[in-house]
Amino acid sequence: MNKEKKRFLECLSKQYPTIDSAATEIINLQSILNLPKGTEHFLSDIHGEYKAFSHVLRNGSGAIIKKIDDVFGDELSLEDKRELASLIYYPIEKLEYIKSESRNTYEWYKTALYRLVSVCRTVSSKYTRSKVRKALPDSFKYVIEELITEKKEVLNKAAYYEEIINTIIEIGYADKFIEEMSKLIQRLVIDRLHIIGDIYDRGSGSHFVMDRLCEYHSLDIQWGNHDVLWMGASAGQTACIANIVRTSLLYDNVSVLENGYGISILPLFFFAMKTYRDDPCKQFKIRSKNSDDSEIGLEMKAHKAISVIQFKLEGQLISEHPEYNMGHRRLLHRIDFENGTIELYGKSYQLCDSNFPTVNPDSPYELTEEEKEVVRKLRYAFVSCEKLKKHINLLLNKGSLYKVTNGNILFHGCIPMTESGEFKKINIFGKPLSGKALYDSLESCARKAFLSVNEADRKNGRDILWFLWNGADSPLYGRDKMTTFERYFISDESTHTETKDVYYKLINREETAEKIFAEFGVKGENRHIINGHVPIHHIEGETPVKCGGKVIIIDGGFASPYHKVTGIAGYTLIYNSYGLMLTAHEPFQSVGEAIRSGVDMQTHRVASEVCKKRILVGDTDNGAKIKETISDLKELISAYRSGEVRQDKHKM
């Protein structure tokens, strides 16, 4: 035995100090390999739509109602199944509704408890007792375990279980028990959650989504361009901060900043009220609001004020980083302030709004002293917000630019490519990088914004987060430019065009998918690329499944502004032991409707891929790790028996 192997086995012996302990663990792990694979749940582009997100999380994209069907079949009516499902989704609210109708009788409680136990017994069957035990709520741990575990030694099982149920009701613990049992079912029905980017912006509940994810039992997050924007803001990148404040005003989501994170934008309002007092700011409307309202008029002024600040800050940043190759997005110096026009791509355009009281034509990207003070106060508010830090830490600890898992590669946007189908080489770090190397370098740089002790590295990390938000070569953005300035100031819509990366055309070709699989080391018989970012126009007949099923784009438009474009309210993907199931969702109505009538979010199965044989844990990435551990433990036992490593029986 070589030195390195012996050192490794000695370290392993601290955890398994005897032959018996190592052998017991081998038996346990071997049994896990033969269990069905846990269900994976994929969501993308949530964009702050908390109510819809929460409901999809509660119903497991239809997984819970399917389990109810599996358990009860024709034994229950459709109405009874829906009522049971809504009880599992919203136990507290459903119980209040039942009581308001005076239906909370002894028999109702008894029936509900028996049905919940039956569902819980089924959803827990694919896990080891140890894993289920860890998921059990402390308050009812032993009671639930008794109810969902088959006890062969009990002769009269019906009487045994009935006595437990009766006691729960008699001592007044039925409500709490139903609540905990429902949460347990929600937890067990999904083994792992994958969020494929864009949690933030547009909707008004981004902070609620992050709160929920902080509590979720098992998840990973692939960063979207809207997520890295908030990461940059939390790290103090001022161009990121300006973008967030502007989009919050645009989508009427200032409440996320002020109520969700306690970030005040009053300094901006005071500045805007003074600077743009006589400016109607007509180009800076607030979506979903009537611009004739005086209060909205002030918001429009603030909207313009932060937009101008954003263009200045971005102009400075682009000048500082020529390697970003974004010089064409410095636009303020192209304005003819005297004639109210701008020169773009060899053509002159009339500006819709030519009032720029804070822009010095001789130095257009320089902030005024008052603008500097606004930026300083906003930056302090963002970097000192503890709740935002907590949420960004979740993105750092559970997130990454991409993930390879169980034969699938997950990423938010695209792999930058050339027209010829090669990975595009991008020179940001002093040498041209492409494909996996580009992703790895960008992620490493981004993390330095929070983790490096070197201030230059931290600044480069902050700046790269802004680049990832909207850079032409950013794999998270995937378009040639973000035409924010043009949409505000130029009426010619041809200037608003944002050309998508050629990836979105090439991804329909099988050779492109295979090239990506090879580049990122994706293995397996049924491999998939799963990404979001670009909404699928379902209403126009566009399909999210591309390249013969190898590519699945699951951005169906969770955010309300997309519904009229996509025709649906999002896609979600379920990957269980039987295969893949892609579902399209209709807009979520309300929690109240779900509770009163049991009406669930309407869903349509878009596509499915059934495996030839049921997938077991042993077939997954986790299974491969378990097999490695078993092999290591067998070596440890051999080393114990040969005397090369000594047992420590005192630790037994």
Q: What is the 3-state secondary structure (H, E, C) of 264-297?
A: CCHHHHHHHHHHCCCCCCCCCCCCCCCCCCHHHH
Coil, strand or helix at 500: strand
- Looking at residues 390-405, what average pLDDT do you find? 97
Name the token pair of 346: 């060899």
Q: Please report which confidence band the pLDDT of residue 546 belongs to, taking 50, 70 and 90 as the band edges.
A: confident
Q: Looking at residue 238, what is its pLDDT?
A: 98
In this predicted structure, which of 125-129, 480-484, 631-635 has the lowest mean pLDDT?
125-129
Averaged confidence pLDDT in the chain: 91
Between residues 559 and 644, which one has the greater pLDDT? Answer: 644
What's the pLDDT tens digit per position in 142-152?
A: 888 888 886 55
The DSSP H or E segment spanning 349 is: strand 347-350
Q: What is the 3-state secondary structure (H, E, C) of 602-615?
A: CEEEEEEEECCCCC
Q: Looking at residue 279, what is its pLDDT?
A: 95
Q: What percent of the chain has pLDDT over 70?
A: 92
Q: In 265-402, which ranges are continuous DSSP H helix?
A: 266-275, 294-320, 369-383, 386-398
Reported pTM: 0.92
Cα three-residue angle 409-220-462, rounded to 5 degrees? 95
Task: Tell me how crowded residue 269 is: count the other CB atoms within 10 A of its CB.
Answer: 17
Q: Looking at residue 20, what is its pLDDT?
A: 94
pLDDT over 60 at 154, yes or no: no
Domain extent listing, the chain:
3-35+619-651, 40-196+532-615
